[in-house]
Structure 1
Amino acid sequence: MEDKISIAIRNKNEAKDLEFLLFNLTDRYSDTIDEIIVIDNESTDESEKITEKYGARFETIKNFSYGGSANFAAEKAKGDIVVIFSAHSYPVSPEFFDVIKEKFDANKRLAGVRCLHTPNDYRNYILSIDAEKDPNKSGLIFTGSAFRKSVWQQIPFNDKVPTFEDKDWTKRVLKKGYQIEFAPVVFAYEVRRTKAQSYFRRKNDLLGNYQIWHKEVKMRQAFNSIVGTFLNGSKNLFIDTFYAIKFLFFVLKFKIKKPEKFKY
């Protein structure tokens, strides 16, 4: 197996975001990546047509799970370096894939790299807090992470966990003596969830935290969430209304006086 770079994009009915990601990949990084695969969860929009437009491979997965889709992506990839994106994320740094490849070339015990997209990533990278010390915030995150397929062949992803399949894999490969590092390149993550999707994610996060990190589930958390949501909603409504009215009076005052100092 060659150290080629395969891009795997997980997608479901995100045609607009998918097109932007594919444009970005083919326009800016075509010299450094070897193939693009869209791992599609039975979309009903224009995702397949857009995939074909950019010359990528379209693969449909049924009975989607996060771990199962990561395994599916690894199976379909031809290269040994597999970079996973969600359709609503995209690389930013010009040298994005060059740095990833350099990381893998320099360390044969490297199982995966995590790229940067939040202050948590930046802080842990700058402070040299690696995955051994913090497998949650410095371990893989399956969008904007890369893994070595030859390691995956020995240690597949867990398709039984509802989420955090990336963190679960991080813990298991570290136990086997492999390493996870940061790659100092940046990607953007622009997820927009409905209330129903946020509930689905929150529910899976709770189950994942229990399975992987053994965090106890307490009823008080659910009650506090309801109370907190009500109080924060009321507080935010009051503050937003206060500043909206304050701005209205500022505009009225400005319209009446029209101070000369703002003219050039």
Structure 2
Amino acid sequence: MISVVIRNKNQEVALEFLLKNLTTRYIDDIDEVIVLDNLSSDRSEIITKSYGAKFVTIKNFSYGGSANVAAEEASNNIVVIFSAHSYPVSHDFFKLIKEKFKNRNDLAGLRCLHSPNDYRNYINKVSSKDDPNKSGLIFSGSAFNKKVWEKHKFNKNVATFEDKEWSKRVIEKGYKIEFVPSIFSYEIKRTKKQQFFRFKNDLTGNYHLWQEQPTLRNAFNLLVASILKLTKSFIIDLYYVLKRFYFIIKFIFNKPKPLKKV
């Protein structure tokens, strides 16, 4: 059986859609739904309970720590993790996951498809061993084996990329992580503050996992490139604002004749 775990913080609209989607289309495929909530101040808890799902509060959130709680709370060996702003699309989403895990003790996890990169690596058969970053797990639409997790817990100390860190580690232990053609959607709009928070974590995570160390030259080049990009974007936007204004004025004084009724 499958346990679905959703990580959430103040996303009541997206969360409700995901829960409605799960309970409407996939009720026969999943055994339980658990919402791991990071101290939301909206109606997330009320919405969760209205759909009969279990609500678990995490006070000291970390990506790896929350993934460990997901595994601990799940009653089944197959655990599928979503973020509240993602949701399954293909009708056989969970059926394909179940089939892939059947009689596979060597399978640590499955990565579902949501982006062109996923699909390219899936079609080109790029293995997680060759590319643990882009073919490893992504914890907004992946499944993992709880029995493997019991031997190899997620690292609660990584800033982010807890999914990639675990992928890399279990692959080195001889386990496999594969693609499964289960399709999901990932839809989120981050504020500038949220984007900066993600940038900081990604920078630290890339250093921890891949030893990608920024330099003063990299930082300066990024600053210059960003300023040039903003300037170019402003000029292009202004150009088309003026062009639209000119077209409207021209249209007012040179309106075409109305079409004749047929």
Q: TM-score band, normalised by the shorter chain?
A: over 0.9
The answer to whether the aligner puts 1:15 opposite 2:15 as a matched pair is no
Counterpart of 2:173? 176
How far apart are 1:228 and its partner, in Å?
1.8
How far apart are 1:164 and its partner, in Å?
0.5
The more displaced of 83-92 and 245-254 is 245-254
Equivalences for residues 233-244 of structure 1 within 5 A: 233-244=230-241
The answer to whether the aligner puts 1:248 opposite 2:245 as a matched pair is yes
The answer to whether the aligner puts 1:25 opposite 2:19 as a matched pair is no
The answer to whether the aligner puts 1:96 opposite 2:93 as a matched pair is yes
SS in 2 for 1:8: strand
Residue by residue, what CA displacement relative to the aligned partner does 1:136-160 show, whole Å, maximum 9, x if unpaired? 0000001100000000000000011
What are the ranges of 5 or more consecutive residues in structure 1 without an aligned counterpart?
Answer: none
The answer to whether the aligner puts 1:219 opposite 2:227 as a matched pair is no
The more displaced of 253-262 and 141-150 is 253-262
SS in 2 for 1:68: helix
How far apart are 1:31 and its partner, in Å?
0.8
Cα 1:263–1:18 shift into 2, 3 Å: farther
TM-score normalized with structure 2 length? 0.95
Residue by residue, what CA displacement relative to the aligned partner does 1:205-234 show, whole Å, maximum 9, x if unpaired? 111111111112212222222222211111
Residue by residue, what CA displacement relative to the aligned partner does 1:169-196 show, whole Å, maximum 9, x if unpaired? 0011111111000111211111221111
* Distance in 1 separating the partners of 2:239 and 2:111: 42
Equivalences for residues 1-264 of structure 1 within 5 A: 4-105=1-102, 107-259=104-256
Matched letter for residue 93 of structure 1: S
How far apart are 1:260 and its partner, in Å?
5.6
CA RMSD of aligned residues (A): 1.5
* Distance in 1 separating the partners of 2:20 and 2:57: 21
Matched letter for residue 171 of structure 2: L
How far apart are 1:250 and its partner, in Å?
2.9
SS in 2 for 1:114: strand
* Distance in 2 separating the partners of 1:29 and 1:254: 52
Matched letter for residue 65 of structure 1: S
SS in 2 for 1:220: helix
* Distance in 2 separating the partners of 1:263 and 1:143: 54
How far apart are 1:108 and its partner, in Å?
2.7
* Distance in 2 separating the partners of 1:14 and 1:178: 34
